[in-house]
């Protein structure tokens, strides 16, 4: 089994190698993902190709192990070092396990950045986050407000009372409520990331607040369950469900109209930005240090914080106009 995995990994790397001998003058940037065959990363690769086409002299090596293990990624990294690529942009399966291999790459003059899922600070020059807590907090209330020009009551359906991510996002959301006059958050309930409890809580919200106009669910289980509850209560058009969700899971809710829009990162933009950053760093256009501003093409520029991390952009909004394109991706 292990031998089989090794073989498959080498085949994947070899394929990348063969396709990668087109032009010796090209800068070669390796996009290393958690595992091959995952829709999200295939979409990121598409974005990387887009960046390469824009830059002209770049060749993308899209690679990764066949399953999501750190060992598999280490083999891939070693192969890339042997190939003397110019830069490696990686979404890591393990924060610490990849550090020695990536350090080796950096000592050979290869630019290493992490994106999506980060590597410990000593194993990369910088990390690209898809978004930041503040941007997400603002986005979830903006999504609700955009469809309520006259304002109205909205409620939050979260995961558990102790979910760190959701609590931070809701806190960030409350900070910017002043920018959305007329939007009135009447309550926060917790669906515990269980479909049945979230469904029941959403029903409870609609009963308790007859004037409710939107439910904000910053959790993928909650948003799906709330959309179903709204549809079953016959309140489509009256109560809009929004928040954070995955296009594949929310396609039905967008189609039925229970949700007008929702947000999550855009993998295409993420792959595009990672490539742009890796290129600019390897070309010496910018240096990865706290406070640095690194250009990333059509996505603007990235400002690094004191941990050499930066947030790409607002979460990307999905609605009826683009759900068809993304629902098969992730």
Partner 1 sequence: MLKTILAARETLLLVAVLLLLLLVSSRFPAFIEIDNLVKVLTDTSPLIILALGQMLVIVTRCIDLSVAANLALTGMVVAMLNTAAPELPIVFTLLIAVSLGAVLGAINGLLVWRLAIPSIVVTLGTMTIFRGTIFLISDGQWINAHEMSEHFSQFPRGSVAGMPVLAWIAVLVTITAWIFIARTPTGRAFFAVGSNPHASVYTGIDVGRTQCIAFIISGALAGLTGYLWVARYAVAYVDIASGFELEVVAACVIGGIAIAGGQGSVVGVLLGAIFLGVVKNALPVVNISPFWQLAISGAAILIAVAFNSRSSQSRGRLILKEAEQST
**Interface residue list for partner 1 (CB under 8 A):** 161, 187, 189-190, 194-196, 199-201, 203-205, 207-208, 224-225, 227-228, 232, 248-253, 255-256, 327
- Least Å distance, CB 225 to partner 1, is 6
Q: Could you tell me whether strands 212-217 and 309-311 are parallel, antiparallel, or unpaired per DSSP bridges?
A: unpaired
Query: Rounded to 5 degrees, what are φ and ψ at 124?
Result: -155, 165
- Among residues 204 and 297, whose Cβ is nearest to partner 1? 204
Q: Which two tokens stand for residue 216?
A: 């904000």
Residue pair 238/213 in contact by the 8 Å Cβ criterion: yes
- Among residues 57 and 232, whose Cβ is nearest to partner 1? 232
- Least Å distance, CB 216 to partner 1, is 16
Q: Which run of H or of E encompasses 169? A: helix 164-175
- Least Å distance, CB 13 to partner 1, is 24
- Among residues 97 and 194, whose Cβ is nearest to partner 1? 194
Q: Which run of H or of E encompasses 172? A: helix 164-175
Q: From start to end of the chain, where are the E strands? A: 27-32, 58-63, 87-90, 111-115, 126-129, 152-158, 183-190, 212-217, 240-243, 261-264, 293-295, 301-303, 309-311, 316-319
C-alpha separations of 166 from 67, 80, 124, 191 in Å = 29, 38, 28, 12
- Least Å distance, CB 267 to partner 1, is 17
- Among residues 21 and 321, whose Cβ is nearest to partner 1? 321
Q: Could you tell me whether strands 293-295 and 301-303 are parallel, antiparallel, or unpaired per DSSP bridges?
A: antiparallel
- Among residues 252 and 295, whose Cβ is nearest to partner 1? 252
- Among residues 52 and 229, whose Cβ is nearest to partner 1? 229
Rg (alpha carbons) of the chain, rounded to whole number: 22
- The three-class DSSP label of residue 155 is strand
- Least Å distance, CB 59 to partner 1, is 32
Q: Which two tokens stand for residue 234?
A: 């016959």
Residue pair 91/114 in contact by the 8 Å Cβ criterion: yes
Cα–Cα distance, 108 to 103 (Å, whole number)? 9
- Least Å distance, CB 186 to partner 1, is 10
- Among residues 60 and 231, whose Cβ is nearest to partner 1? 231
- Among residues 105 and 225, whose Cβ is nearest to partner 1? 225
- Least Å distance, CB 237 to partner 1, is 18
- Least Å distance, CB 207 to partner 1, is 5
Q: Could you tell me whether strands 87-90 and 293-295 are parallel, antiparallel, or unpaired per DSSP bridges?
A: unpaired
């Amino acid at each position: 089994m292990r031998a089989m995995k090794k073989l498959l990994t080498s085949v994947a790397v070899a394929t990348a190698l063969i396709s990668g001998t087109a032009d010796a003058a090209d800068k070669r940037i390796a996009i290393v993902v958690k595992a091959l065959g995952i829709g999200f990363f295939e979409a990121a690769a598409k974005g990387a190709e887009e960046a390469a086409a824009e830059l002209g002299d770049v060749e993308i090596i899209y690679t990764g192990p066949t399953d999501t293990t750190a060992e598999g990624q280490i083999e891939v990294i070693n192969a890339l070092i042997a190939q003397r690529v110019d830069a490696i942009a990686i979404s890591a399966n393990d924060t610490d396990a990849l550090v020695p291999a990536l350090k080796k790459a950096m000592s050979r003059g290869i630019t290493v950045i992490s994106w999506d899922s980060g590597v410990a600070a000593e194993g990369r020059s910088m990390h690209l986050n898809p978004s930041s807590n503040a941007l997400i907090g603002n986005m979830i209330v903006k999504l609700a407000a955009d469809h309520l020009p006259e304002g109205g009551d909205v409620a939050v359906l979260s995961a558990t009372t102790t979910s760190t991510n959701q609590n931070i996002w809701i806190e960030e959301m409350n900070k910017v409520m002043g920018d959305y006059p007329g939007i009135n958050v009447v309550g926060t309930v917790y669906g515990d990331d269980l479909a049945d409890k979230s469904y029941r809580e959403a029903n409870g919200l609609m009963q308790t607040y007859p004037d409710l106009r939107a439910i904000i669910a910053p959790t993928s289980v909650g948003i799906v369950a709330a959309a179903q509850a709204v549809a079953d209560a016959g309140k489509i058009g009256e109560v809009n469900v929004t928040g954070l969700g995955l296009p594949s899971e929310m396609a039905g809710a967008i189609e039925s109209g229970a949700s007008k829009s929702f947000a999550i990162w855009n993998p295409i933009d993420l792959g595009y930005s990672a490539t742009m950053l890796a290129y600019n760093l390897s070309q010496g256009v910018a240096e990865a240090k706290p406070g640095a501003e690194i250009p990333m093409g059509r996505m603007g520029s990235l400002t690094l914080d004191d941990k050499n991390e930066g947030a790409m952009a607002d979460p990307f909004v999905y609605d009826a106009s683009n759900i068809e394109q993304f629902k098969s991706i992730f």
